[in-house]
């Protein structure tokens, strides 16, 4: 851990103490003096607020005792505490206008386990000095991996591949998997095969509000273990370590397609084929196909994946679907482009090849050029400003970029049955007022997601859903996507806690369903003083904002939306470019920068193209 000691100096006269029940601010008389910070929390570093107000200090932890020190300091001195890991929370919940920002990004360490049996003591701890090992998995045993809280998806896959193993991870390689991603549920490109992240957590180690290190697994504090697997990050304590189930490394084939309307200005024709393909969810899952489908006002794009023998069936399953879509009114059949990446055996290659990097939001960007290795392919398109801001050079101190323009809904089979009604709902939900406004259909809720996770606190709506649909785009907070049409279509489902609108109506039911009351009781048990506060979050209505100050609510008011909280940065949000490239082909518009021959892609693409465009004299 890199410590930089700077003493707090205030250029304003001290006023009075913080009001009863409120967190202390730097202008209050009871704010800790510089010598107190120096003695009790050595290593804090001030954050320059600039236009936006952030916590006064950041404290970068690399060991459990660092986290304990910060938690105890915040509790003792009534200082606002925020927690940040890799900084990917779309709701900006890892931010506050005052107090301490506790960063656990530096908590590293990876150890593979030939087997795992939960105990009260917990798994052998890891830290930055732990040397990643290689193991031989044992048949019939839960092979596992123990990681520090700051270990990213890329790091975990790189460590596991040497043992021929694979961990369920986020699609973005920079996400720290033990943080809010897994604690909120965590979907992945392979969730249909392997379940949600929360379904595969075997143990968490967490520093609770009393500053103690607590083991949470099936035999030690099972109530806390249940709550941490779906209740949301930053809510029940600071997770410092996690143990996940790992699997034999899959043989997987990612596949992409692009299709656009005949007329560039035609923003009506896209919804019929979009609804049709969305409604194929059960057929896709049955064939072992999963992934992500993107709907633009005048174009469609999908990134799908199948593992093992399912990859061989993928062309035959997709070909008739794509043939029907390209023949629908208003669509340019010649615009259909497909790209089957090589059979990627490396876990890191699987994810990098799956998305082809994180391209900038440019409407005419071509698909990433196929290369001998997926990471090289990922570098053929520029990274978005979002990624540069969060992970660029010199960004050792993460701060929240604010809320992302986003709204979402989970839909089940009954909501996809009427394609015409679904098409209308999709059209109404399209955020056309946002730059690069789009709908993202996640085919990540089938098979294992529907049948697993009975002992987690993940929103029960996930277990009944076939798709998760997100409306998003680039905005400054003034324009919020609105999927009321999807809520009307599916009034009794909900939304995914990690990818949703913070103002979602009926927020407790929408994010946690029938689990909320039990989660509230567990929150009361482990954090009665609400040291860990996020909104939307469990018991968020127990606190209220009074200006930039966070205070205990005098009365708990029934509200249709979660409390806005004390973070004024979230009132307007930041511009958040976070899109995938849409192709356009046609007269007067940018054409593909690379031909299919240049893209390559191997036998899968050739097979699919042969099925889509049979030669004369052959059957198709």
Return the SS3 of 166: strand
Report d(CA 413, CA 489) in Å as an integer.
12
Architecture of the domain spanning 1-107 = 2-Layer Sandwich (3.30)
Note the pLDDT tens digit of each residue in 197-207: 999 999 999 99
The reported pLDDT for the residue numbered 585 is 52
Neighbours of 575 (CB within 10 A): 15
For residue 548, is pLDDT > 60? yes
Q: Is a pLDDT exceeding 90 seen at residue 490?
A: yes
pLDDT for res 350: 53
pLDDT over 60 (residue 519): yes
What distances in angstroms separate CA 183 from CA 166, 199, 238, 331, 506, one per listed residue?
A: 19, 10, 11, 41, 21
**Could you tell me which residue, 392 or 27, shows the higher pLDDT?**
27
Q: For residue 393, is pLDDT > 50?
A: no
C-alpha–C-alpha distance, residues 405 and 92, integer Å: 11
Residue 611 confidence (pLDDT) = 56
In this predicted structure, the answer to whether residue 389 has a pLDDT above a threshold of 60 is no
Find the helix packing angle between 153-161 and 347-355, rounded to 10°. 140
The DSSP code sequence of 210-251 is: TS-EEEESSSSSHHHHHHHTTS-TTSS-EEEEEEEEEEEPPP
How many other C-beta atoms can be found within 10 angstroms of the C-beta atom of residue 121?
Answer: 8
**Per-residue confidence at 570, pLDDT binned at 50, 70, 90?**
low
110-148+151-248: CATH topology is 3.30.465
pLDDT at 363: 31
Question: Can you tell me the mean pLDDT for 323-341?
Answer: 90
* CATH superfamily, with its number, for domain 252-489: ACT domain (3.30.70.260)
- Residue 544: band (very low, low, confident or very high) from pLDDT cuts 50, 70, 90: very high
Residue 357: per-residue pLDDT: 40
Average pLDDT over residues 423-429: 99
Percent of the chain with pLDDT over 90: 58
pLDDT in the model for residue 530:
97
Domain ranges in the chain?
1-107, 110-148+151-248, 252-489
The least confident of 11-15, 130-134, 292-296, 555-559 is 11-15
In which band, very low, low, confident or very high, does the pLDDT at 596 lie, cut at 50, 70 and 90?
very low
């Amino acid at each position: 851990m890199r410590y930089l000691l700077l003493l707090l100096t205030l250029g304003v006269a001290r006023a009075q103490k913080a009001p009863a029940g409120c967190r202390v601010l730097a202008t209050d008389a009871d704010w800790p003096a510089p010598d107190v910070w120096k003695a009790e929390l050595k290593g804090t570093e001030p954050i320059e607020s600039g236009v936006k107000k952030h916590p006064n200090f950041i404290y970068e932890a690399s060991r459990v005792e660092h986290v304990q020190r910060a938690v105890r300091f915040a509790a003792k001195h009534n200082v606002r505490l925020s927690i940040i890991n890799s900084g990917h929370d779309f709701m900006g919940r890892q931010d506050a206008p005052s107090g301490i920002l506790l960063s656990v990004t530096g908590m590293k360490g990876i150890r593979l386990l030939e087997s795992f049996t939960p105990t009260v003591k917990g798994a052998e701890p890891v830290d930055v000095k732990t040397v990643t090992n290689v193991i031989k998995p044992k048949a019939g045993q839960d092979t596992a991996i123990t990681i520090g809280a700051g270990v990213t998806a890329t790091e975990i896959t790189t460590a596991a591949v040497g043992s021929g193993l694979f961990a369920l991870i986020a699609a973005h390689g920079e996400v720290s998997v033990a943080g809010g991603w897994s604690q909120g549920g965590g979907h992945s490109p392979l969730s249909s095969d392997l379940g949600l992240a929360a379904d595969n957590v075997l143990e968490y180690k967490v520093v609770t509000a009393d500053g103690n290190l607590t083991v949470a697994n099936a035999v030690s504090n099972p109530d806390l273990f249940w709550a941490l697997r779906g209740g949301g990050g930053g809510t029940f304590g600071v997770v410092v370590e996690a143990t996940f189930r790992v699997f034999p490394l899959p043989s997987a084939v990612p596949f992409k397609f692009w299709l656009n309307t005949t007329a560039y200005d035609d923003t009506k024709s896209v919804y019929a084929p979009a609804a049709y393909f969305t409604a194929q969810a059960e057929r896709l899952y049955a064939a072992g196909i999963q992934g992500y489908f993107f709907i633009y006002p005048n174009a469609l794009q999908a990134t799908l994946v199948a593992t093992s023998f399912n990859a061989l069936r993928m062309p035959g399953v997709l070909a008739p679907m794509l043939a029907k879509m390209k023949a629908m009114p208003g669509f340019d059949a010649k615009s259909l482009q497909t790209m089957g990446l090589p059979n990627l055996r490396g876990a890191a290659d699987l994810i990098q090849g799956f998305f082809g990097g994180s391209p900038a939001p440019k409407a005419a960007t071509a698909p990433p050029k196929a290369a001998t290795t997926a990471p090289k392919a990922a570098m053929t398109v520029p990274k978005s400003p979002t990624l540069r801001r969060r992970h660029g050079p010199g960004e050792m101190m993460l701060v929240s970029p604010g809320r992302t323009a986003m709204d979402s809904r989970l839909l089940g089979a009954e909501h996809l049955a009427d394609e015409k009604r679904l098409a209308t709902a999709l059209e109404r939900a399209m955020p056309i007022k946002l730059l690069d406004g789009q709908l993202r259909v996640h085919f990540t809720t089938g098979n294992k997601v529907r049948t697993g996770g009975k002992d987690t606190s993940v929103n029960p709506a996930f277990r009944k859903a076939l798709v998760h649909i997100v409306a998003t785009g680039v905005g400054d907070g003034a324009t919020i996507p609105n999927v009321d049409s999807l809520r009307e279509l599916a009034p009794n489902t909900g939304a995914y806690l990690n990818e949703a609108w913070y103002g979602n109506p009926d927020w407790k039911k929408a994010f946690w369903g029938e689990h909320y009351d039990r989660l509230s009781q567990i929150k009361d048990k482990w954090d009665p003083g609400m040291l860990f506060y996020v909104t939307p979050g469990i018991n968020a209505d127990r606190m209220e904002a009074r200006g930039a100050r966070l205070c205990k609510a005098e009365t708990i008011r029934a509200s249709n939306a979660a409390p806005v909280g004390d973070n004024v940065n979230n009132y307007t949000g930041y511009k958040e470019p976070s899109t995938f490239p849409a192709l356009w082909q046609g007269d007067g518009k940018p054409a593909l920068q690379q031909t299919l021959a240049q893209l390559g892609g191997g036998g899968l693409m050739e097979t699919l193209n042969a099925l889509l465009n049979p030669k004369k004299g052959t059957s198709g």
